[in-house]
Amino acid sequence: MSHILEVKGLTKRFGGLTAVNDVSFGVNEREILSVIGPNGAGKSTLFKLISSFLKPSAGEVTFRGERISNLAPHIAARKGVVRTFQETTIFRNMSVRDNVIVAHQLRARASLLGFFAGSAEARRDEVRFAESADEILSFLGLDAIRSELARNLPHGHLRALGIAIGLATTPTLLLLDEPFAGMNHDETMKAVAMVRKLRERGLTVLLVEHDMSAVMKISDRIVVLNFGEKIAEGTPAEIQNNQRVIEAYLGVEDEAIGL
């Protein structure tokens, strides 16, 4: 079958450092694919390349057969490839609901002039956005805090809000960078269930995560990066028994204990 997203020979160099080195893989429609690897392996950089926040040094990304590398990020978003951020990135000085409403920009039918003049189309847009925002908020269990100022939210909610903002753009492919970071076990389990529900909504999900138990539970397939290179790809069971992966992670532990 053909892939919805195809990454071919993707390479990104920062000066002398090759953060992503000749990485290729494909993603199937409605799949949950995790990218794992030690700190600094190039996972976030890979996501930035896919979502066009960075321009690759070599290689390309095709989405539904169309080349999307080298576009501006807002164009990639328009085509349905949307990323959330590793850091909790939200609009701090807006309410939770306004955060999600403003993120509906891609669905606007009215022009900017229409919004300025308050045309009928623009008013219809506003109503649709509000309804959709409320729907997303209740889907993610955020309705109780919808009128809180975003900057006052606790960490777990911020992550969820980041995902809500992503969802508002109606993506086809959602890239989640460490969505479970800083969550306790219960919160993680809830979030895992939520990501599964995203797939039921028809989304394809690409995920970077350090929480291995969550990754093993949730992923259809896993891609492993180490020092920018892909060292393995396969189902969770295959990855758990892959010698190179074990070495890569052990290597990190050795460093951590000072060997």
Partner 1 sequence: MTKKLIGLVVFLLAVFIAVPMLIAATGRTDLYYVFTSVALLSIASAGVWLTFFIGRINIGQGAYALMGGYVSAILIMYYGWSFWWTLPVAGIFCAAASILIGFPILRLRGVYFAMVTLILTEVMRLLALALPITNGAKGITSIPPPGPISLFGMTLVPDFATLQNPRIAFYYLSVMLMIACFAVLYRLVHSRIGHICMSLQQNEELASSIGVNIAALRVMAYAISSFFGGLSGAVFIGATQSIYPSSFTVTDSVNFMLNCFLGGLGYVFGPMLGTLVLYLGWNLLFSTGEFQLLIYSTAMIVLMLVLPNGLLSLGSFKRRG
Q: Which residues contact 89 (CB under 8 A, 6 or more apart)?
A: 162
Instruction: Write the DSSP string, 158-170.
Output: HHHHHHHHHHHT-
- Answer yes or no whether residue 108 interacts with partner 1 by CB under 8 A: yes
Residue 251 binding: pick among partner 1, ligand ATP, Mg ion, none (C-beta 5-8 Å cut-off by kind): none
Residues 6+ apart with CB under 8 A from 215: 34, 36, 207, 209, 222, 236
CB of 41 to partner 1, least distance (A): 22
Q: Are 77 and 106 in contact (CB under 8 A)?
A: yes
14 binds ligand ATP (CB under 6 A): yes
Contact segment (CB under 6 A) with ligand ATP among 2-10, 41-49, 142-150, 180-188 equals 41-49
Q: How many residues bind ligand ATP (CB under 6 A)?
A: 12
Cβ neighbour number for residue 255 with a 10 Å cutoff = 10
C-alpha–C-alpha distance, residues 136 and 130, integer Å: 10
DSSP 8-state code for residue 145: G
Contact status, residue 169 vs residue 74, Cβ threshold 8 Å: no
User: Binding residue for ligand ATP (CB under 6 A) from 44, 69, 99, 204?
Assistant: 44
Beta carbon nearer to ligand ATP, 54 or 133: 54
Locus of tokens 């532990």? 253
41, interface contact from ligand ATP, partner 1, Mg ion, none, CB < 5-8 Å by kind:
ligand ATP
* Partner from Mg ion, ligand ATP, partner 1, none contacting 42, C-beta within 5 to 8 A by type: ligand ATP
According to CB under 6 A, which residues from 73 to 92 bind ligand ATP? 86
**Site residues for Mg ion, window 58-87 (CB under 5 A)?**
86
Nearest approach in angstroms of CB 123 to Mg ion is 41
- Residue 116 within binding range of partner 1, rule CB under 8 A: yes
Coil vs helix vs strand at 24: strand
SS3 state at 89: coil
Packing angle between helix 185-200 and helix 155-168, nearest 10 degrees? 10
User: Rule CB under 8 A: which residues touch partner 1?
Assistant: 51, 53, 72-74, 77-78, 82-85, 89-94, 98, 101-103, 105-106, 108, 112, 115-116, 118, 122, 125-126, 165-166, 168-169
